[in-house]
Amino acid sequence: MANRVAIIGVGQTYHTSKRPDVCIPELCNEAIRAALEDAQLTIKDIDAVVMGNMELFEGRYHQDLWQADYVGAYHKSGFRVTTGGTTGGTLACTAFFCAASGLYDVIMAVTFEKQSEGDSRAGLKTVADPIWDRWISTGAIGTFARLGSWYMKTFGATEEHAALVRLKADRNACLNPHAHLKLHLKTVEDVLKSEMLVPPLRRLDMCPTSEGACVIIVASEKKAKKLSRKPVWVKDWVEVHNETRYNRGDPVSLENLEKAALTIYKRNGITNPRRDISMAEIYEPATWAELVWSEAFLFCEKGESYKLIERGVTERDGEFPVNPSGGVIATNPIGATGLIRVAEAALQLRGDAGPHQVSREVKRTFTTAWGGSSWTVAHLLSKSLD
Amino acid sequence: MSRKVSIVAVAQTEYEKAKPAWREAEITYQVVEKLLQETGLSFAEDGTGIDATVTCSSDHWDGRTLSNIPHGEVAGSHLRAEEKVSSDGINAVIYAYLQILSGHYDTVLVVATCKESQTVGYIIENFAFDPAYQQKIGLDFLAAAALQANRYIHKYGITPEQRARVVVKNRGNAKNNPYAQLRKPVSIKDVLNSPVLAHPIKLLEVKPVSDGACGLILAVEEKARKLTRTPVWIAGMGQCYESHYLGDRDLAECDALSLAAKDAYRQAGITDPLRQIDLAEISEYYSYQELLWSEGLGFCHKGNGGKLIEKGVTELGGNLPVNPSGGVLSGNPILVAGTARVAEVALQLMGKAGARQVPKAKTGLAHGTYGPCGQHHAVLLLRA
């Protein structure tokens, strides 16, 4: 088993659709300053800086080079890891690997997305195989419309259930100072009257296009105990990629998500996730994703997740809060999104989430990142070391 | 740090100016297949197989977002851990090393691939510069290298002949390397008479466009000993970023490289690199870089890179042979270059370098760099 490491600082920018006032490195710098302040450290305490984002979205080649001066990487160690939508989740793992290696004591992971400076949709269009899948229009909207219609047909969920997920996300986002969309939606009808994109997916079922940055500071066990009053311990992490074919196979394969969850549960003695874990921050870019993937992550039986939302189980003050931050449905700076899940879970474990702190005591959290063809990264964080 | 990590197998394709018959992932697979055959490893998940994969490719060079999709697919990513390090490939090796040191994985596959021939490199390189101040000037890595070469020459009096000697040495070494792309030796006159691309850099002083892949398998000590009789141990590692803005640094110096080397030397107990290191594979994308990087690595004093090569210290029979493989100048793709440096040092320490073998090689240094004028440097110290 891996050497133990802890998260000792987190920082985010506020997230919004356009930040013309800053360039990419300046955006990252805001999150770094926030994380250093949170950890009560200076840049001199940092041994290495690892970075990541969606490689093609802003068009920059070796993005880390331009960032280096602004993120305190000058004359320090570091490198860049990029895995598509999972990048933020992967970067957390990268920092965990570095801190556990024994070669570094304190590592900073820096993620961002600034989509107004590039063309994310053009980027996503090139994800399919340029020969075999050349004419397939890849992108998020079609993927999640298909997921929604499959779920409705298979389990009898309705559009209203998806709307309830949005209402929950919006209620939480309105309390989260960093969240992007705060729509103050009141009723299911408010969601259902939004524009239909691809049935059954409406505009308010989808995440926004956000820009922002997120940073976490990770330390080895020894350093964490020395430097931090409230270290958040990293219990485990797992990454599951797969073969990507858009022209064949199960259109709503949940294999990756299920394998990631099962692996991490099994390794950590979790037999009943809703009992053994306090809350989850999952990467759900659409309402339907939260419904279907809650089942893949074994928060409930197959076909039961819409009943969870009906009963308020996953609300911020419910039995098993899911995405008390407002989640990806409210905020999606893609490269940073996976890391925001980890940062938010760390704040919840520390009891420092502020207005969107969950009501019950948070002892253990489950976080995920999603990207590619359902690539999944999952982490298990804990308040205590054992 | 209690774990010891070893390179247990390496594989390379032949490097060629173009591989039109093969798609990127097919090139990757040529390397993966060799590695699996050599080690007998599989992707079994019962603790006997490869635990994770680190790929190295680029969305820009492959022309698609998530370029790791095809490479990962043929390198064991299906329903398993795979991550992409999209910079020089030595960092992919370093990442795998960190993963194993952490205790999270025992055996990691690394593969770096680039098919430069299908893309226009200088346009991609232009997008590495910050868009406000440097990109619009139209800089690419060659233009930036010319600025650095001029500054280095001016400050330390490096001569065209000294630079040409790097090319002559490395191309001479490449004739012994079956994987090298340019295996025809050249003379100093050939180099000096080749056309100027960006003053003072001439055609033969620049690495050629190249296609190919290079991969390695790293394993923790207990597993490594079972997988190979010739394990190559990672004894030291250092990485360092330089400032991005070219005007913010003295281009005749490479402080980031010295800092990276300092870390690696400390970990490996190296105090006198010239005596304690038996061979080095360093990333010279342009002739002058081998001289400048040699200074940064402490093979000689600042400004003495030219004299180092004149004295023959870095020749195949010299005190510290540098680039016995022929180096990047003899043809390695972008991204793959750093991985290939590690692979070549590993082959030397395994005693499997064939005609380019350095006798009694026990300690070797591999260096990788990326970005304009060497903005990022990484150093690995390996031991037989």
- pLDDT band of residue A249 (cuts 50, 70, 90) is low
B322-326 mean pLDDT: 98
Separation CA B283–CA B157 (nearest Å): 22
Characterise B241 by phi-psi region: left (phi > 0), alpha (psi -120 to 50), beta (else): beta
- Is B68 in Cβ contact with A83 (below 8 Å)? yes
pLDDT over threshold 80, residue A354: yes
Looking at residue A87, what is its pLDDT? 97
Burial class (CB in 10 A: 0-12, 13-18, 19+), A22: middle
pLDDT over threshold 70, residue B187: yes
What crossing angle do the helices spanning B255-268 and B287-296 adopt, rounded to 10°?
50
- pLDDT band of residue A251 (cuts 50, 70, 90) is low
User: CB A226: neighbour CB atoms within 10 A?
Assistant: 12
Residues 116-175 on B with a CB inside 8 Å of A are 124-132
**Distance to chain A for B379, nearest Cα, Å:** 11
**Distance to chain B for A317, nearest Cα, Å:** 35
Looking at residue A120, what is its pLDDT? 85
- Is A127 in Cβ contact with B66 (below 8 Å)? yes
Looking at residue B286, what is its pLDDT? 98
The residues, any chain, with a CB within 8 Å of residue B8's CB and separated by 6 or more, are B39, B217, B218, B219, B223, B224, B227, B228, B231, B232
Dihedral angle computed from the Cα positions of residues B222, B228, B230 and B231, in that order, rounded to the nearest 10 degrees: -40
- Rounded alpha-carbon distances, angstroms, from residue A114 to A176, B6, B72: 20, 40, 27
A137-151 mean pLDDT: 89
pLDDT over threshold 70, residue B58: yes
Q: Which of B205, B224, B208 is nearest to B216 (CA)?
A: B224
- Token pair belonging to B38: 């050599």
- Token pair belonging to A138: 């890849």
**Distance to chain B for A169, nearest Cα, Å:** 29
Run of H or E residues at B130: none
B348-352 mean pLDDT: 98
- pLDDT band of residue A131 (cuts 50, 70, 90) is confident
Looking at residue A373, what is its pLDDT? 85
Q: 3-state SS string over B281-336?
A: ECCCCEHHHHHHHHHHCCCCCCCCHHHHHHCCCCCCCCCCCECCCCCHHHCCCCCH
Which amino acid is residue B326, in one-letter code?
Answer: G
Looking at residue A248, what is its pLDDT? 67
Answer with the residue of higher pLDDT: B345 or A128: B345
- Is A93 in Cβ contact with B70 (below 8 Å)? no
User: Considering only CB atoms, which chain B residues are within 8 Å of A259?
Assistant: 79
The DSSP result for A122-141, as a single string, is: HHHHTTS-TTTTTT----HH
pLDDT > 90 in chain B, percent? 98
Separation CA B361–CA B250 (nearest Å): 35
- Rounded alpha-carbon distances, angstroms, from residue A15 to A129, A172, A179, A332: 32, 15, 6, 8
**pLDDT 10s digits, B236-257:** 999 999 999 999 999 999 999 9
Range with the poorest average pLDDT among A137-151, B12-26, B193-207: A137-151
Peptide bond into B200 cis (omega under 30): yes
- Is B78 in Cβ contact with A75 (below 8 Å)? no
Query: Is residue B207 a contact partner of residue B336, using CB atoms and an 8 Å limit?
Result: no
B66-87 mean pLDDT: 95
User: Considering only CB atoms, which chain B residues are within 8 Å of A76?
Assistant: 240-241
**pLDDT 10s digits, A289-322:** 999 999 999 999 999 999 999 999 999 999 999 9
Range with the poorest average pLDDT among A114-128, A372-386, B307-321: A114-128
Range with the poorest average pLDDT among A12-16, A259-263, A382-386, B303-307: A382-386
pLDDT > 90 in chain A, percent? 87
Please measure the distance between the N-terminal and C-terminal CA atoms of chain A and give it in whole angstroms: 13
Q: How many CB pairs under 8 A join A and B?
A: 193
- Token pair belonging to B4: 């010891």
Looking at residue A247, what is its pLDDT? 67
pLDDT over threshold 80, residue B365: yes
Looking at residue A256, what is its pLDDT? 94
pLDDT > 70 in chain B, percent? 100
Q: Is A80 on the interface with B (CB under 8 A)?
A: yes
Which amino acid is residue A270, in one-letter code?
Answer: I
Residues 7-36 on A with a CB inside 8 Å of B are 23, 25
A113 has which bridge partners?
A212
- Is B102 in Cβ contact with A96 (below 8 Å)? yes
Sheet with B5-12: list strands edge to edge. B81-84, B52-56, B107-115, B211-220, B5-12, B232-241, B376-383, B363-370, B279-281
- pLDDT band of residue A137 (cuts 50, 70, 90) is confident
Separation CA A192–CA B150 (nearest Å): 65
Q: Which of B51, B13, B16, B43 is nearest to B31 (CA)?
A: B13
Separation CA B243–CA B82 (nearest Å): 30
Separation CA A139–CA A268 (nearest Å): 35
- pLDDT band of residue B273 (cuts 50, 70, 90) is very high
The residues, any chain, with a CB within 8 Å of residue B317's CB and separated by 6 or more, are none
Q: Is A75 on the interface with B (CB under 8 A)?
A: yes
Residues 273-332 on A with a CB inside 8 Å of B are none
Looking at residue B379, what is its pLDDT? 98
**pLDDT 10s digits, A196-209:** 999 999 999 999 99
Query: Is residue A278 a contact partner of residue A360, using CB atoms and an 8 Å limit?
Result: yes
Separation CA A241–CA B78 (nearest Å): 6
- pLDDT band of residue B230 (cuts 50, 70, 90) is very high
Looking at residue A271, what is its pLDDT? 97
Q: Which residue of A has its CA nearest to B132?
A: A23
pLDDT over threshold 60, residue B1: no
Residues 185-224 on B with a CB inside 8 Å of A are none
